Amino acid sequence: MPDGADATRIEVVSEIAQVDAAQWDACAGGDDPFLSHAFLDALEQSGSAVGDRGWLPQHLVARNADGRVVGAAPLYLKSHSYGEYVFDWGWADAYERAGGRYYPKLQCAVPFTPVTGPRLLVNQDLPAQTRESVADTLVAGLEEVARRHSVSSLHVTFPTQGERDRLANADFLPRIGLQYHLHNPGYRSFDDFLAALQSRKRKQIKRERREVAETGLRLRRLTGSDLEPRHWDAFYAFYLRTADKRWGFPYLTEEFFHEIGRRMPDRILLVMAEESDGTPVAGALNLIGRHALYGRNWGAIEEYDFLHFEACYYQAIEFAIEQGLSRVEAGAQGEHKIQRGYLPVATHSAHWIADPALEQAVDDFLQRERRAVERQIAGLSQHSPYKQTES
């Protein structure tokens, strides 16, 4: 049987629906729900990640001599820098003021999703040497697509650290960022988690949860067959309210939420807050991975003190403990997460710049930025809410 090493060829597809779902998922693996064919196709079929919105799919697919998919990379031709969470607005502005054309650019990523995961997707059933060869072929394919499109740059965002190192060896510029994750060392209950905290932090969380409970709101965790179209109708209203308050533009369409609810309900945890008559007033969307729970979107049409913390953080922690998940990822931004058990961790990206002058300027900036982010992570880690343990 061919192992994937012979006559591997790269093709570019304009929609993920052109790729067999089972073969794509064999490359994506089962750890990360965002890389699944169902999730990425839902983004496209719902009109959320499409050319009209500045996300033109240009996915790489590597096939062996038999035509079987042995590797892939989610790739988009972009006309802006929205929905990426790794900001390059300053680079674009400087380059265009200097007379260059920054857009379009290429983005290897999961749209609107700041979650670390593989970007060079390789079928793990292949022999180790073949996997390495396919990964290198995908990197070469990314660069070739960038050249053929004559783009200013190619950005691989939220890859694994190993992928970042591989890309750095191919002359991509490495970058680090900052997120907040909660690690579950094997808690048996939420009380176990609380017991690991310093007394003041433990009391703070108990008080916040108590005040939410005293409102009379009911918190429901919906997953699998519990999810109904009415829940997505309500959640989309919450999502729009948050977009109006924070971003100004809702990236995701209502159809997207219904699509993932239909296609992958067992990988979704939707926390809904309801008034006593059953009226939903707030919700938090999470996706369930093999080892982690990923908090993604939040919204509310009524304001209640500490409800955001309860729905987004404490319900997620409880669920992860119950399911034996090893971590909860709460995404970027928000030093307040530290006081609730989420500690700072580094994230990664890698950037290929076509113009040598821009590349040098970006490289200089990234070297300074890396030192600053490393200091920031070290400083924030000093404020851990957990009890000090003797080494």
Tens of pLDDT, residue by residue over 257-304, are 999 999 999 999 999 999 999 999 999 999 999 999 999 999 999 999
Q: Is the pLDDT assigned to residue 245 strictly greater than 80?
A: no
In-domain check, residue 333: no
Do 81 and 215 belong to one domain?
no
Do 317 and 369 belong to one domain?
no
| Gap between the Cα atoms of 14 and 60, Å rounded | 9
In-domain check, residue 238: yes
Do 316 and 351 belong to one domain?
no
Provide the residue type at 323 as one letter: Q
Range of the domain at 364: 9-178+345-381
Do 316 and 350 belong to one domain?
no
In-domain check, residue 163: yes
Question: For residue 330, what pLDDT is reported?
Answer: 87
Q: Is the pLDDT assigned to residue 361 strictly greater than 70?
A: yes
| Gap between the Cα atoms of 176 and 178, Å rounded | 7
SS3 string, 261-318, reads HHHCHHHEEEEEEECCCCCEEEEEEEEECCCEEEEEEEEECCCCCCHHHHHHHHHHHH
Do 277 and 358 belong to one domain?
no
Do 100 and 170 belong to one domain?
yes
Q: Which two tokens stand for residue 157?
A: 């965002």
Mean pLDDT over 189-198 rounds to: 98
Q: Is the pLDDT assigned to residue 331 strictly greater than 80?
A: no
**CB 312 within 8 Å of CB 295:** yes
In-domain check, residue 388: no
Do 238 and 139 belong to one domain?
no
CA nearest neighbour of 139 among 44, 80, 75: 75
Q: Is the pLDDT assigned to residue 205 strictly greater than 80?
A: yes
Do 290 and 376 belong to one domain?
no
In-domain check, residue 390: no
In-domain check, residue 305: yes
H helix and E strand count, the chain: 12, 15
Mean pLDDT over 34-53 rounds to: 98
Do 140 and 13 belong to one domain?
yes
Question: For residue 5, what pLDDT is reported?
Answer: 47
Do 160 and 189 belong to one domain?
no
Mean pLDDT over 329-353 rounds to: 92
CA nearest neighbour of 282 among 271, 295, 292, 290: 271
- As for how many domains the chain has, the answer is 2
Q: What is the CATH number of the domain that holds 36?
A: 3.40.630.30
Do 234 and 112 belong to one domain?
no
Reported as a pLDDT band with limits 50, 70 and 90, residue 332 is confident
In-domain check, residue 39: yes
**CB 142 within 8 Å of CB 60:** yes
In-domain check, residue 250: yes
The per-residue pLDDT of the chain, averaged, comes to 95
CA nearest neighbour of 182 among 311, 385, 341, 331: 341
Do 234 and 218 belong to one domain?
yes
Reported as a pLDDT band with limits 50, 70 and 90, residue 249 is confident
Question: For residue 246, what pLDDT is reported?
Answer: 65
Q: Is the pLDDT assigned to residue 32 strictly greater than 90?
A: yes
